[in-house]
């Protein structure tokens, strides 16, 4: 059992090990890294995070298909495509993400970008700049995302909200990509109105397993309160950027899954 100082050193070393450009190529974050234009990064980052469940290779391959369907220029396509251009998306699917979900994403994104130059504004609907978490931002985004009158009920399972007590793993991961910024070149840090200190940990099975083994998470469920509990535990080590430890816990979890000894 490690004491606080030992645990801090252990986690910080793991962050240094995994928060490196080499992390990018095998992770869904490689998709927004294909682009330099802010809106392209946002669009494909949001889509890659949404599809980020299952085998990472499959996730990345399917995201490449989306990029191809958008002619390699997501923002330009989103803004300017016509109804007929959506026919080519009818065969696209990723696990339970079906064509009806894809078509609604296209419609929402087109409506949004006709009114705003950034997807960040969609997350500011319910965001309190003084809040400790992004709970309001995520609930506001969910309500806004499904505000179109023909929003399919089935699509709601693909966009989480704390209002349903979800851990919101994929949205928390997307916000990490957009908000965090350091000199490592993995996360983008292109959004400025949400602070890194307000982010919550993306709580997936790897992160959860390692966090429990290190005594950082006690709550039995994997839900929104668990994400807050883990984030608060990590704020002891870095109150301004607790989500940087996602690299440590996820990376260590992958090593453990592959039966590489944790040192």
| 263 occurs within a structural domain | no
| 224 occurs within a structural domain | yes
Residue 194's pLDDT is what?
98
Residue 125's pLDDT is what?
87
Residue 181's nearest CA partner among 248, 241, 247 is 241
Residue 263's pLDDT is what?
34
Residue 105's pLDDT is what?
98
pTM for the whole thing? 0.95
Residue 38's nearest CA partner among 192, 138, 188, 196 is 188
| 87 occurs within a structural domain | yes
- Residue 258 to residues 9, 83, 169, 262: CA-CA distances in angstroms? 23, 45, 22, 11
pLDDT tens digit string along 199-246? 999 999 999 999 999 999 999 999 999 999 999 999 999 999 999 999
Residue 255's pLDDT is what?
75
| 215 occurs within a structural domain | yes
Q: Which domain holds residue 54?
A: 4-257
For residues 177-192, average pLDDT: 97
| 8 occurs within a structural domain | yes
| 138 occurs within a structural domain | yes
Q: How far apart are CA 244 and CA 258, in angstroms?
A: 22
Helix (H, G, I), strand (E, B) or coil at 102: helix
Residue 245's nearest CA partner among 6, 2, 17, 4 is 17
| 226 occurs within a structural domain | yes
pLDDT tens digit string along 20-50? 999 999 999 999 999 999 999 999 999 999 9
What confidence category does residue 254 fall into, taking pLDDT thresholds of 50, 70 and 90? confident
- Residue 95 to residues 59, 60, 210: CA-CA distances in angstroms? 10, 13, 26
Helix (H, G, I), strand (E, B) or coil at 263: coil
Q: Per-residue pLDDT for 1 more than 60?
A: no
For residues 50-69, average pLDDT: 96
- Residue 253 to residues 68, 173, 261: CA-CA distances in angstroms? 32, 16, 11
Name the average pLDDT for the chain.
95
Please state the length of the chain. Answer: 263
Query: What's the DSSP call for residue 2?
Result: -
- The total number of structural domains that make up the chain: 1
Q: How far apart are CA 29 and CA 46, in angstroms?
A: 10
Place of tokens 């080519």: 88
| Residue 97 phi, psi (nearest 5) | -85, 105
The better pLDDT of the pair 162, 257 is held by 162
| 63 occurs within a structural domain | yes
Query: What's the DSSP call for residue 123?
Result: G
């Amino acid at each position: 059992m490690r004491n606080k100082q030992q645990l801090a050193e252990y986690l910080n070393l793991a962050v240094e090990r995994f928060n490196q450009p080499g992390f990018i190529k095998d992770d869904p974050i490689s998709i927004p890294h294909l682009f330099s234009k802010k809106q392209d990064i946002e669009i494909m980052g949001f889509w890659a995070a949404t599809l980020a469940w299952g085998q990472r290779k499959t996730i990345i391959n399917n995201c490449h298909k989306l990029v191809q369907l958008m002619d390699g220029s997501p923002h330009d396509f989103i803004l300017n495509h016509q109804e007929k251009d959506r026919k080519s998306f009818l065969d696209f699917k990723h696990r339970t993400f079906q064509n009806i979900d894809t078509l609604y994403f296209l419609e929402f994104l087109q409506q949004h970008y006709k009114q705003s130059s950034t997807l960040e504004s969609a997350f500011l609907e319910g965001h309190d700049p003084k809040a400790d978490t992004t709970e309001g931002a995520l609930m506001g985004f969910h309500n806004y995302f499904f505000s179109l009158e023909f929003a399919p009920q089935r699509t709601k399972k693909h966009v989480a909200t704390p209002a349903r007590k979800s851990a919101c793993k994929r949205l928390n991961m997307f916000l990490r990509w957009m908000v965090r910024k350091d000199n490592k070149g993995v996360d983008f840090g292109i959004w400025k109105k949400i602070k890194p200190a307000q982010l919550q940990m993306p709580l997936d099975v790897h992160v959860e397993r390692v966090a429990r083994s290190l005594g950082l998470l006690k709550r039995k469920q994997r839900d929104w309160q668990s994400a807050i509990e883990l984030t608060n535990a990590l704020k002891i080590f870095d109150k301004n950027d607790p989500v940087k430890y996602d690299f440590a816990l996820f990376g260590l979890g992958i090593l453990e899954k592959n039966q590489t000894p944790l040192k």
